[in-house]
Structure 1
Amino acid sequence: MIKKKNIFTVAIILFLFVLLSITLIVINSKDKNMQNVSVKLKWYHQAQFSGIYNGLEKGFYEKRGLNLTIYEYNEDDIAESISNGTYDFGIVGADELIVARSKGLKVKAIAVIYKTNPSCAYTLNKDIKNPQYFKNKTIGIMKGTNIENSFYLMIDNIGINRSEIKEVYINSDTEWLENNSIDVFTGYNINEPNILIEKGYYVKKFLFSDYGIDIYGDVIITSDENIINRPDVVFSFVSGTIDGWNYAYTNKEETLKILKKYVPIEIYDFNHQKLMLEEAIPLIFYHDTPAGIMNLDKWEHTQELLIKSDIIKEKVDDYFTNEFIEKYYETKTYETPYTK
């Protein structure tokens, strides 16, 4: 009787050992098939990048074989960091991509996030009725951002010379306006001005798109090398990101809960992030169009503006591709917003 019990115990142990071994083999096999990739954000963690957070938390990248690491903004040149392989993917402004390409950096846009330009100037001064009133005023600019380029494009387009304004390079703290250190600030329409509005200020905003600078905002970029040598990885990242934004469109409350995992708790403001997300969605699905797809005419218009303002000397080529975003929609097996 004791021997039978011992045999049964041994059999159970052997069975559990075999089961554990099989499980470990499956896990190891899965890990070996996963590709480690990284994305560099153009700003600090906030609702602006909700599609990426959703893609990670809801498993949209994982199911496509990607193990994604997200890096938030610092002062690194994102395009250069993508070109030299420090990061695999990045979020930049459309104008920044073209400028990078004009400098010889081998980077390319693979999808657009914001289909219209969210950059703006804003002020607390009620006497400033339009950008023509910027003359002889002190303008706060965040140096090294696509907002800076957009501002220069805008004033050039309406005939204001930079010598007619006083530019100061500062950080994004809205207190510069609150304490009257500057007259006008620049930022993203969905972010900085809303901070002041939420504090009860009357804020006058001037969207650069209303003054001829209707260019793309955030775009996803990668290196030419990735496109050539790792097209499956590029396709998977584009797909996971657009899945994340489609999810945000239909699941805003859960998206905001996911966002709390990324925005430091000491600066997380639910109402501010909620408003940012609500205002970001129309920029992504602009005029009821599918997320991600880019238009040549809009890119060419951007190049013409950059040349006119002497930011680049001549047009560049081979700087964007719809290959991966078009494949995404061709292979969809379920409905997404505006793809019914």
Structure 2
Amino acid sequence: MVYMSLLLRSSAAMSVVLAFGVQASAADSVTFGTNWLAQPEHGGFYQSVADGTYAACGLDVTIAQGGPQVNNRALLLAGKIEFHMGGNMLEAFSAVEQEIPVKVVAASFQKEPQVIMTHPGQGLDTWEELKNAEQFILGDAGFQSYYQYMITEYGFDASKRVPYTFNPAPFIANPKSAQQGYITSEPFAVEREDGFVPNLFLVADHGFDTYSTTIEVMQATIDNKPEAIKCFVEGSIKGWYTYLYGDNSAANALIQKDNPDMTDEQIAFSIDKLKQYGIVDSGDTETMGIGAMTDARMESFYANMVKAGVVKDGIDIKASYTLDYVNNGVGLDLKK
């Protein structure tokens, strides 16, 4: 399974000396490994580095970029970094199945930012019409996860899938095709390269209800350093509120320092889409705060994935996450 292989692909010493929830007298150095190059989808974390939110509760946080040649998940498993940016809950379920002691402690995204794009005015303008596309340009991970759900739940056709090579040219050339994309990425590229605004169907809005862009830690960190987790999770939550609704200029400067290819135009597009589609802040976050997770959502997603044949039945999914650090309304006062 692709997610198992991703799990395998993917410390600083720390002494927390005060009681839970109390600021440490000296900052503890920790590292957060992301899952790709610096971008607005990581904005809340950069925000809390830039404005001192992490430092205020006792952490000196280094953000280690992911990328094609970086294996931050492996560094987490080896104890070389304390925090890791996970993908969605399929990775966490797979970890439990493999008896790897990784747990999700917060969900930065309430919705998986995965979309299916189509050309407007081609009879592919609604979710139901989407099934009529001549081909679905999908990567292996998408075909083996959300597209299996679309097949089971909505009757999409597996035989129409063609591999995605991360080049939009085949999609642009065929107006009857559909292509996968991240809400913040591929649609931007299509608009710039071919001058049209594609139809966007967010798979999360049609029942693929996983959490995404999670914060993962090892069980040993939960056992030994809960204060550091509390600081990092709550600091990240506050960072996301400020990044989305406040002055995010310092965070964007750090993002562009780490990733000079990230343009102002791309940043503005990404933030707009994160807000427009409720990727970070929607549903439960409106009362529980950003980062929220619930047992009901976890159980719903797991049941859907078992039904679609994506994961096995019988996994103890409660071993894949903890609610101890979220759902407390942290940061709601920062939302403007």
Match in the other structure for 1:157: 153
Match in the other structure for 2:307: 308
- When residues 137 and 78 of structure 1 are mapped into structure 2, their CA distance, relative to the original with a 3 A threshold, is farther
Equivalent of 2:136 in 136, 139, 145:
139
Match in the other structure for 2:320: 319
Match in the other structure for 1:294: 293
Match in the other structure for 2:4: none
Determine whether 1:270 maps to 2:264: yes
> Within 2, Cα distance between the matches of 1:262 and 1:303?
36
Pick the structure with greater CA Rg.
Answer: 1
Equivalent of 1:44 in 28, 37, 47:
37
> Within 2, Cα distance between the matches of 1:276 and 1:118?
11
1:318 Cα deviation after fit: 2.0
1:101-180 aligned within 5 A: 101-124=96-119, 126-129=122-125, 130=127, 133-134=130-131, 137-144=134-141, 149-162=145-158, 164-171=159-166, 173-180=167-174
1:82-97 aligned within 5 A: 82-91=76-85, 92-97=87-92
1:230 Cα deviation after fit: 1.2
Match in the other structure for 1:65: 58
Match in the other structure for 1:183: 177
> Within 2, Cα distance between the matches of 1:128 and 1:230?
51
**Contact persistence 2:293–2:327 (CA under 8 A):** no
One-letter code aligned to 2:292: I
1:231 Cα deviation after fit: 0.9
> Within 1, Cα distance between the matches of 2:152 and 2:191?
28
- When residues 245 and 207 of structure 1 are mapped into structure 2, their CA distance, relative to the original with a 3 A threshold, is same
Q: Secondary structure at the match of 1:61?
A: helix
One-letter code aligned to 1:175: A
1:71 Cα deviation after fit: 2.4
**Alignment TM-score, normalising by the size of structure 1:** 0.77
**Contact persistence 1:138–1:167 (CA under 8 A):** yes
**Alignment TM-score, normalising by the size of structure 2:** 0.77
Q: Where do 5+ consecutive residues of structure 2 fail to align?
A: 1-23
Q: Deviations 1:132-182 (Å, cap 9, x if unpaired)? A: 6557844333445x78622332233212352x22331423x4334234599
1:228-243 aligned within 5 A: 228-243=223-238
**Contact persistence 1:131–1:206 (CA under 8 A):** no
**Contact persistence 2:242–2:248 (CA under 8 A):** no
- When residues 154 and 43 of structure 1 are mapped into structure 2, their CA distance, relative to the original with a 3 A threshold, is farther
Superposed CA RMSD in Å reads 3.1
Determine whether 1:222 maps to 2:212: no
Q: Secondary structure at the match of 1:323?
A: coil
One-letter code aligned to 1:110: V
Equivalent of 2:334 in 321, 333, 336:
336
**Contact persistence 2:133–2:177 (CA under 8 A):** no
- When residues 210 and 237 of structure 1 are mapped into structure 2, their CA distance, relative to the original with a 3 A threshold, is closer
**Contact persistence 2:105–2:215 (CA under 8 A):** yes
1:80 Cα deviation after fit: 5.0
Q: Secondary structure at the match of 2:162?
A: strand
**Contact persistence 1:115–1:284 (CA under 8 A):** yes
> Within 1, Cα distance between the matches of 2:62 and 2:50?
12
**Contact persistence 1:47–1:273 (CA under 8 A):** yes
Q: Deviations 1:254-275 (Å, cap 9, x if unpaired)? A: 24444333331xx332222112
> Within 2, Cα distance between the matches of 1:137 and 1:204?
16
Q: Where do 5+ consecutive residues of structure 1 fail to align?
A: 1-30
- When residues 170 and 87 of structure 1 are mapped into structure 2, their CA distance, relative to the original with a 3 A threshold, is farther
- When residues 150 and 278 of structure 1 are mapped into structure 2, their CA distance, relative to the original with a 3 A threshold, is same
**Contact persistence 1:95–1:302 (CA under 8 A):** no
The percentage of counterpart residues that share the same residue type is: 18
More helix by share: 1
> Within 2, Cα distance between the matches of 1:252 and 1:195?
26
**Contact persistence 2:33–2:64 (CA under 8 A):** yes
> Within 1, Cα distance between the matches of 2:169 and 2:148?
23
